[in-house]
Structure 1
Amino acid sequence: MGTPYYLQSPRTIMMKVMKNMKHQPPALPPPAPSKIILKPRHRTSPAMWCAAIVCFAFSITLIIAGVAILIVFLAIKPRPPAFDAVNASLNSVYVDSPAYFNGDMTFVANISNPNQKIDMVFRSAVVELLFRDRPMAAQALPPFLQRRGQYQVLNVHMVASRVLLPPEVAMELVNQVRSNRVVYTIRGKFHVEARFWFGHYTYWMYTVCELELTAPPSGVLVARRCRTK
């Protein structure tokens, strides 16, 4: 057993401490601070700036155009022309063998322009006569101008000659003539140009009229229903 620690001389104690320090492992150096690697920033190319400016200008133009169209629409309040078959006469209906149809009908069409700030130009118009969705006759109308708030009365003569019908359709037509009630359909297609102030626009107008007439040779109009789109 060695000499107690408190009885040893200071020199001996110092020598032991230095000896113990020699046997200790060397201290590790402190870890180096981590570095955050940032990617280099790429500058926006002039082409991208030009594309963005063009897109922005185009968007602004669309917004301005939409607002202008809305203002014009609210100012003029456009309405489509109205089509009505005010009168009609059924002159003849004849079905011969084998189911060939011959017919003659005249109707009076009233086309009115309800707009107070728009003139209507009917560039082209075709009117068809149908029975049970079967075309019987067609008539092209000449172009005409219709001023704002005015109406136009047209006499349309529809003549059908040897139109072949399915047997069941021909039989139904014969039965309607015998019962003194013949139902025809008038279908119209109009290419309309609307003129207002400093501009114009065009569109197609479609009309359908269901006409109920008495039997020929002096058939008269007893009921009608017209719609326009």
Structure 2
Amino acid sequence: MDPKTKFSTHRERATNPLVWCAAIICTILTVAVIIAGIVTFIGYLVIHPRVPYVSVMDAHLDHIQIDYAGILEIQVTILIRAQNGNEKAHASFSDSSYSLSLNGEVVAQLVAPPFEVGKNSSVDFNYVVPSSPIPLRPDQAEDVDTGLKKDLITFDLKGSTWVRWRIGHLASVRFLCRLECRLRFHPLNGTYIPSRCSSKAK
């Protein structure tokens, strides 16, 4: 027997050219769909740059009182607006939480359940924030007393909300809107001193 003779238990078959063509076409179509999606996504962000945001629209210091023992009682009303200025996409807001503090002491927590804001629309949350009696340190109590005498009380508002911005059926963008600002009031009549207080996307 010729030593060069090969024995095989199965027949060797060449791949059908039609199979190769089908595989190549499928690959090209898949890449084209991915590229089209990315281009559409980037183009959408460039053409429609209006990113949803939250801002303080108004506020009022309803009540503030501190006794000789340094026990503080307050009530504040804060109007926060979630704004979606985009005409092409809805926006979903979730995990909305903000802390209101006075002289480093957190006096209230503002939270909201998940909610939707339609295209080119807004949703308002009117927070009425009463606080339980809060014992202050002597230095904190002195600062509050000074503010009352000067008719100027300043609160710090800090927090954030997650926003998901859906772009058709292709994709969505999720980002964190941070809100950090100072709210100033005239305690004699409770009026709010307007200032720019809007979130920044991160």
CA distance in 2, matches of 1:66, 1:95: 63
Structure 2 match to 1:137: 108
Assess if the C-alpha contact under 8 Å between 1:189 and 1:204 holds in 2.
Answer: yes
Correspondence list, 1:201-216, <5 A:
201-216=173-188
Counterpart residue number, 1:73: 42
Structure showing greater Rg: 1
Identical-residue share of aligned pairs (%) = 19
Separation in 2, partners of 1:177, 1:93: 9
Is the contact between residue 78 and residue 118 of structure 1 (CA under 8 Å) also seen in structure 2?
A: no
Compute the displacement of 1:132 (Å): 3.1
Q: Which amino acid aligns with 1:209?
A: C
In the aligned structure 1, how far is the partner of 2:85 from the partner of 2:195? 21
Cα displacement (A) at 1:172: 0.9
TM-score, length-normalised on structure 1?
Answer: 0.64
After superposition, residues 14-25 of structure 1 pair within 5 angstroms as none
Question: How high is the TM-score relative to the length of structure 2?
Answer: 0.71
Whether the aligned pair in 2 keeps the contact of 1:84 and 1:209 (CA below 8 Å) is: no
Q: Is contact 1:210–1:225 with CA below 8 Å preserved after alignment? A: no
1:34-53 paired onto structure 2 within 5 Å: none
Distance in 1 (CA, whole Å) between partners of 2:55 and 2:100 is 15
8 Å contact 2:55–2:199 — kept in the other structure?
Answer: no
d(CA) in 1 for partners of 2:97, 2:91: 17
Residue number in structure 2 paired with 1:29: none
RMSD of equivalent CA atoms: 2.6
What is the CA distance between 1:99 and its match in structure 2?
Answer: 2.7
Structure 1 SS opposite 2:151 = coil
Distance 2:105 2:38 in 1: 41
Q: What residue identity is the alignment partner of 2:181?
A: C
- Offset, 1:211: 1.6
Does the CA contact (< 8 Å) of 1:136 and 1:160 recur in 2?
yes
| CA shift in 2, pair 1:228/1:66, >3 Å | farther
Q: 1:101 aligns with which of 51, 60, 72?
A: 72
CA displacement at 1:137 relative to structure 2: 0.5
Relative distance call for 1:183 and 1:65 in structure 2 (3 A) is farther
SS for the counterpart of 2:43 is: helix
Partners of 2:56 and 2:198 within 8 A in 1:
no
User: What's the secondary structure of 2:139's corresponding residue?
Assistant: helix
**Does 2:157 match 1:183?**
no
The structure whose residues are more often helix, as a share, is: 1
- Gaps in structure 1 of 5+ consecutive residues: 1-60
Structure ranking higher on relative contact order (CA contacts 8 Å, 6+ apart): 2
Task: Specify every segment of 5 or more residues in structure 2 that has no aligned partner in the other structure, as ranges.
Answer: 1-29
Q: Is the alpha carbon distance of 1:174 and 1:201 closer, same or farther for their aligned partners in structure 2, counting shifts above 3 Å?
A: same
Q: AA paired with 1:207?
A: L
